C-alpha cells in the first residue's frame, strides 16, 4: 500500500530543530521527499552566525531512514533566497507539492519599550518569510496548472500561534506577525483554490527552543510517556493537511498540542446596535455600549483561547 505522500515533494522551513524538524521527519515518514530549510543561527532571537549544521543533520537523518532529502540554508526572509529555495525543490524533485512555513525568531519586549529593529526583525522572518516562500510556490503551481489545463496538487501549511488568538503582553511583534499569517493564509486559500492548492494555518503548542521560557514550569511526562508538549504531537496534523486526504480543508485555522486538535471558527458578531437616526452620536453610543461592557472588569480583553477551553501557551 503506497504511503500517503509517496511521490510528493515538500519544503519545511525552520526544519533544523524543534517543530520544523518533527514536521520534516513526519512528511518523510509519510513518503515525501523533503527540502530541509534552516538558516542555522544559534540564537532564538536570530543572532549568531548562519550554519548548515542543523539542516544537514535533519536531511541526513531522513536519508538514513531510507527517505529522500536535501538541506537548504537560505534565509526565507530574503525574497531572492526564498525563490532559490522553491527553485531547489523543483530542480531536485521535478516539482514542489507541499510548503510548510515554520521558520521564526523571537525578540520579546513590552510594547512601550520595544525598539523598531525588534519589531522589524520578527515581522520580517515570520510574516515576510511566509509571504516570500508562498509567493514563489504559488507562482509555480499556477504555471503548472495553466500548462496542464487543470488543477494540480498543492498544499501550504502555515504556522500561527495562540499569541495571536489570545494576546501576549510581552510579544506585540510576534502576536502581530502571527495574526498577519492568518490573514495571508485565508487570502492565499481563496486565490489558489481554483488551481488545486489549499492553504491552512496551525497554532501549535510545543516545547521548543523558542518556547523554553513559556513552558519552563510545565512538567515533562513521567516514565516512558511522550511529553504532552513534544513537537511530535503537532507533526501528524501537518502530515494530514499536506496529504490528498485534506483536499476539502482550506482556509482553516487549527490549534494543536498534546493529542488535541481544535478547529477555530472565524470571528462572529457578538452584538449589534443600530442608530435611531442617520448616524450615531456620542451620547447614543455611550447609551448602548456602556451597558454592554458595563458588567465586564475594566481593561478586560477578548481571549479566544478561553472560548476554546484552553489556556494560552
**DSSP, res 12:** E
- Please identify which of the residues 39, 178, 195, 243 carries the catalytic annotation: 178
Active site residue 178: yes
Q: Is 161 a catalytic residue?
A: yes
Three cell numbers, residue 79: 525574497
Sheet containing 9-13: which strands, arranged edge to edge? 69-72, 33-37, 9-13, 98-100, 154-159, 197-204, 253-257, 260-264
Helical H segments across 65-167, by residue range: 79-93, 116-123, 129-148, 162-166
Helix spans in the chain (H): 18-29, 53-64, 79-93, 116-123, 129-148, 162-166, 172-192, 235-241, 282-294, 304-307
H or E stretch covering 33: strand 33-37
| Residue 276 a catalytic site member | no
**Grid coordinates belonging to 134:** 508562498
Query: Can you tell me the distance from the alpha carbon of 16 to that of 157, in angstroms, rounded to the nearest whole number?
Result: 17
What lies within 8 Å, CB to CB, of 65 at 6+ separation is 28, 29
On the CB side of 299, CA atoms within 13 Å amount to: 0
The counts of H helices and E strands in the chain are 10, 8
Residue among 77, 88, 174, 195 flagged as catalytic: 174
* Catalytic residue of the set 161, 168, 195, 243: 161
Nearest residue to 22 (alpha-carbon basis) of 204, 200, 152: 204
- Residues 214-230 as b/e (b if ≥16 CB within 10 A, e otherwise) read bbeeeeeeeeeeebbbb
Catalytically active residues are: 161, 174, 178
Amino acid at each position: 500500500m503506497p504511503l500517503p505522500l509517496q511521490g510528493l515533494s515538500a519544503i519545511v522551513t525552520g526544519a533544523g530543530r524543534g517543530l520544523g524538524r518533527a514536521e520534516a521527519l513526519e512528511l518523510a515518514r509519510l513518503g515525501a521527499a523533503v527540502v530541509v530549510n534552516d538558516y542555522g543561527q544559534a540564537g532564538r532571537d536570530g543572532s549568531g552566525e548562519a550554519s548548515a549544521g542543523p539542516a544537514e543533520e535533519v536531511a541526513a537523518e531522513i536519508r538514513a531512514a531510507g527517505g529522500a532529502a536535501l538541506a537548504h540554508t537560505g534565509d526565507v526572509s530574503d525574497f531572492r533566497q526564498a525563490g532559490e529555495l522553491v527553485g531547489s525543490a523543483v530542480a531536485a524533485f521535478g516539482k514542489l507539492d507541499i510548503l510548510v512555513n515554520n521558520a521564526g525568531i523571537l525578540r520579546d519586549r513590552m510594547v512601550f519599550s520595544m525598539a523598531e529593529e525588534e519589531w522589524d526583525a520578527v515581522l520580517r522572518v515570520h510574516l515576510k518569510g511566509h509571504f516570500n516562500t508562498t509567493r514563489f510556490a504559488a507562482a509555480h503551481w499556477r504555471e503548472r496548472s495553466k500548462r496542464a489545463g487543470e488543477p494540480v496538487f498543492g498544499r501550504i501549511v502555515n504556522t500561527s500561534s495562540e499569541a495571536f488568538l489570545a494576546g501576549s503582553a510581552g510579544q506585540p511583534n510576534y502576536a502581530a506577525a502571527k495574526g498577519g499569517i492568518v490573514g495571508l493564509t485565508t487570502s492565499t486559500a481563496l486565490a489558489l483554490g481554483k488551481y488545486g492548492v489549499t492553504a491552512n494555518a496551525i497554532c501549535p503548542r510545543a516545547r521548543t527552543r523558542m518556547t523554553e521560557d513559556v513552558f519552563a514550569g510545565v512538567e515533562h511526562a513521567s516514565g516512558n510517556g511522550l511529553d504532552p508538549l513534544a513537537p511530535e504531537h503537532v507533526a501528524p496534523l501537518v502530515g494530514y493537511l499536506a496529504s490528498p486526504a485534506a483536499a476539502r480543508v482550506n482556509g482553516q485555522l487549527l490549534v494543536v498540542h498534546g493529542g488535541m486538535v481544535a478547529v477555530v471558527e472565524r470571528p462572529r458578531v457578538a452584538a449589534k446596535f443600530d442608530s435611531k437616526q442617520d448616524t450615531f452620536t456620542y451620547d447614543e453610543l455611550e447609551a448602548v455600549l456602556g451597558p454592554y461592557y458595563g458588567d465586564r472588569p475594566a481593561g478586560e480583553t477578548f481571549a479566544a483561547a478561553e472560548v476554546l477551553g484552553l489556556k494560552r501557551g
